[in-house]
Copies of this chain bind each other. A is one copy, B any other.
Amino acid sequence: MGVHLQGSLTLESVESGLRFRARFGERTHLLDSGEGAVAPDPVMALLEALTACGAMDVISILRKQRRAVTGYRIEMSGERSETHPRRFVAIALTHHVSGHDLDADAVRAAIELSETKYCSVRATLDPALRIVHEVVLHDAGA
């Protein structure tokens, strides 16, 4: 037996445009594409899903280790092929972690644990996709 996830996706712009509303109970996202888009498109949603999946693991692990994290921002960069279906061929994530007494090796170990063991999104992507990480620490001072 597996774990089931259910939701719906509804076209909001019937006449023209590509605006859809995703719903999982009360939790929703707007997805939009093309000229004048007001929300992330599906490819952006994929990149944010992958990045957030890892980021949630990392912050959870650092908190369990009682490390004083005061800020966490990840710069995401994805390279796509030029020809259809324009898949991602490489993704680079730079993790900016702010706090006290931080240890880059601990952050790298948390990223590694997420990628190999916990992140459901990573495990659903093509295993051949290359993802590289960089860790930058920002000491918040004493």
Q: A residues near B, CB below 8 A? A: 1-11, 14, 16, 18, 20, 22, 24, 26-29, 31-33, 37-53, 55-56, 59-60, 63, 69-82, 84-90, 117-127, 129
Contacts and interface: CB of A to CB of B under 8 A. Distances in A.
Q: Is the interface of A mostly helix, strand, loop or mixed?
A: mixed
A78 B121 CA distance: 13
Given A4-B77, A11-B55, 9 more contacts: A2-B90, A7-B75, A9-B51, A16-B63, A20-B52, A22-B51, A31-B49, A46-B53, A84-B118
A76 B43 contact: no
A117 to B, nearest CB: 6
B87 A120 contact: yes
